[in-house]
Amino acid sequence: MIKIIDRSKCCGCTACFSVCPQKAINMFTDEEGFLYPKVDQSKCIECQICDHVCKFQVRLSEEKNDDWVETIAYAAKNKSKEVLAKSTSGGIFTALSDYVLKEGGSVFGAAFDQLFRVHHIRALTSEQRDQMRGSKYVQSDMESIFEQVKSDLKNGKKVLFTGTPCQVDGLYGFLRGHTNGLYTCDLICHGTPSPMVWNSHVSFISKLKRSKLKEYHFRPKDWTWHVHNEKAIFYNGKVYHSTGYANMFRNLYYSGLIMRPSCYRCPYSKLKRYSDITIADCRGIDKVLSDIASDEGVSLVIINSKIGAELFSAIDQSIESYPINIIDVIQPPLKKPCNINPRRDEFWSIYRKKGYRAAINKMYGRFFNLKSIIRNILKKRGKHN
């Protein structure tokens, strides 16, 4: 039976939970807000299927050697200006999912619920799919999604599943080879932050603005695609951005303080991928293709399989694409996992005892937000002088 002793060896993909024939495994939330499997021994029949489907354990034991990997990569963007405006990068996910939906298939990806918790959902229409657009820098709750994917495949539907590399590999482990009709698309992932901290951030900014949150954009293009300012829109009409507190979750995301323990030793941080297609921001593209109009957003697309090549070819009419050398635009998560912050334990100790605001004040200083406001004022004055 699966037993998690070292939490850095579990990515929370839910393959073990989904595959258990006795429904003896439940996912429980730990003190950092991450989900882990727990076995009800009164129901367990010791079949060990849960151990056999755990791809994460297998990948941890593999040698990391990417020298032999021949990577086919493209810089790409959707031809629709409307799609580009609503996408974090180049709108390639929309093009891929449009194709599958037109074929009568289903699309699975991460979306906000009404409380801004992040879940994987199933879409059969473009309207449902649109909830998946845009980056969501939080680990999604998979719930029964793997079983829904399996059901759709069994019923002859084409399926596009998008997620982090560990979620995609977890799905393959769960399906155990029964993948006819399945397309998979993973992301170049910096790591998955705590849903609990994310919920605290939503509550924090809602109290600051005295209103319920209406929309949240992790990477809006208000400041062009090159700038990462987060934006929150509230029901009272207020819009919150470009301050220390407004961008706090962005800072925590890059800090290495709030990632899932397994992210710091992620076996998927390499060029060898297990999905059909990998998509991400195409950072550094201006140095490679100077006339691509990158302010609109450009996606990096990596083709990892024959199925991926066929799917990418199927969307050719709706996108612009340019072959590139992956080395020219390679990103840190393709070379190594994110770094753990040496103050991580300190952050979590304060967070558990005193809450979110006390923890960020300790990490960034009590006057962090004021300093951010002053910097923005000085920056604006400098532009006018």
Span 31-36, average pLDDT: 97
- Distance, CA of 356 to chain centre: 22
Residue 6, token pair as written in the block: 């070292």
Band the pLDDT of 219: cuts 50, 70, 90.
very high
Query: Cα–Cα distance between 49 and 174 in angstroms, integer?
Result: 9
CB 14 within 8 A of CB 146: yes
Please state, in angstroms and rounded to a whole number, the distance separating the CA atoms of residues 70 and 304. Answer: 9
- pLDDT single digits (tens) 259-301: 999 999 999 999 999 999 999 999 999 999 988 878 899 999 9
Among the four given CATH numbers 3.30.70.20, 3.40.50.620, 3.40.50.2300, 3.40.50.300, the one describing domain 7-61: 3.30.70.20
pLDDT at 80 over 60: yes
pLDDT at 385 over 60: no
pLDDT for 382: 61
Please report which confidence band the pLDDT of residue 224 belongs to, taking 50, 70 and 90 as the band edges: confident
pLDDT of residue 45: 95
| This prediction's pTM | 0.94
pLDDT over threshold 70, residue 67: no
Average pLDDT, the chain: 93
**pLDDT more than 90, % of the chain:** 86
Q: Under 8 Å CB-to-CB from 27, ≥6 apart: which residues?
A: 12, 14, 17, 35, 36, 37, 38
How far is the C-alpha of 230 from the C-alpha of 275, rounded, in Å? 29
Q: Of 130-139, 291-300, 317-326, 369-378, which gets the smallest average pLDDT? A: 369-378
Domain boundaries, the chain: 7-61, 72-192+259-334, 195-258+342-384
Structure tokens at 369: 């937000």
pLDDT for 111 equals: 98
